[in-house]
Amino acid sequence: MSAFSLEGRTALVTGANTGIGQAIAVAMAEAGAEVIASGRRDCDETLEMMGRVSDKAGRSLILDFADPMAARDVFADQRIDILVNNAGIIRRDDAVDFSEADWDAVMDVNLKALFFTCQAFAKAALPRGRGKIVNIASLLSFQGGIRVPSYTASKHGVAGLTKLMANEWAAKGLTVNAIAPGYIETNNTEALRADPDRSKAILDRIPAGRWGRPEDIAQTAVFLAAPASDYINGAVLNVDGGWLAR
């Protein structure tokens, strides 16, 4: 079997109804995994796309991480080998005006839910001595950004938790890594792409000269879920067209 194959594995991808999560679910299905596509609403479009690249029946699961403990019972009664924590939200406002409600909403989904979903997965996977966690971080795991204080704080937290969990679980057979996407064409960046000045400033800094596509992240996620990456642990891998190198 190829070191990049996911045959015989079951993967849960959160936030899989659109964008990066959808692309990851499809790529993992194409690599041979049985994929559970989860979202706060149905993932019918994702399942249809998965069906075009795989003869395995994908499944859909409603998980709304407005409740950070939404996935606490997901792993106990079924074997899931790969967890991709992609679900996330963003709120924009000047730091001087940012509301407590927007702060709490973002931190609950992006950080608290991620940690407790990883914890629930680990409780099931550690006794088996094998499992793969791929968290979706951000360039704002390393930078400050503007007008997204809770998003920046949450993504710094994702990077830190990824390293902490890798430290605790690596010797027990679990790998925990993260991907830090650059500026990708998704709903989260729609406001930036619609602003000519911001869009130009962003493109001028990206050495690759283009916005990223969800598929750029998806294939990296397949790699981090596959046997090829078994000795990679605690890494936060930038997939940004060279943004951070500039």
Q: Given pLDDT bands bounded at 50, 70 and 90, which one contains residue 31?
A: very high
Tens-place pLDDT, residues 36-87:
999 999 999 999 999 999 999 899 999 999 999 999 999 998 999 999 999 9
* Domain range enclosing 133: 10-238
Largest CA distance in the chain: 54
Q: Is residue 3 part of a domain?
A: no
Catalytic residue among 151, 183, 211, 243: 151
Query: What angle in degrees, to the nearest 10, is found between the helix axes of 44-53 and 19-30?
Result: 30
- 89 or 190, which is more confident: 89
What's 23's DSSP letter?
H
Q: Which of these, 67, 65, 104, 66, lies nearest to 85 by C-alpha position?
A: 65
Q: How many domains does the chain have?
A: 1
Q: Is 231 a catalytic residue?
A: no
Tens-place pLDDT, residues 132-191:
999 999 999 999 999 999 999 999 999 999 999 999 999 999 999 999 999 999 887 888
What pLDDT is attached to residue 108? 98
What distance in Å separates the CA atoms of residue 39 and residue 24, rounded to the nearest whole number? Answer: 13
Q: Is residue 243 part of a domain?
A: no
Tens-place pLDDT, residues 196-241:
999 999 999 999 999 999 999 999 999 999 999 999 999 999 999 9
The DSSP H or E segment spanning 46 is: helix 44-53
Q: Is residue 193 part of a domain?
A: yes
Query: Residue 14 in contact with residue 38, Cβ under 8 Å?
Result: yes
Q: Is residue 216 part of a domain?
A: yes
Q: What is the CATH number of the domain that holds 59?
A: 3.40.50.720
Give the tokens for residue 193. Answer: 């792409």
Question: pTM of the prediction?
Answer: 0.96
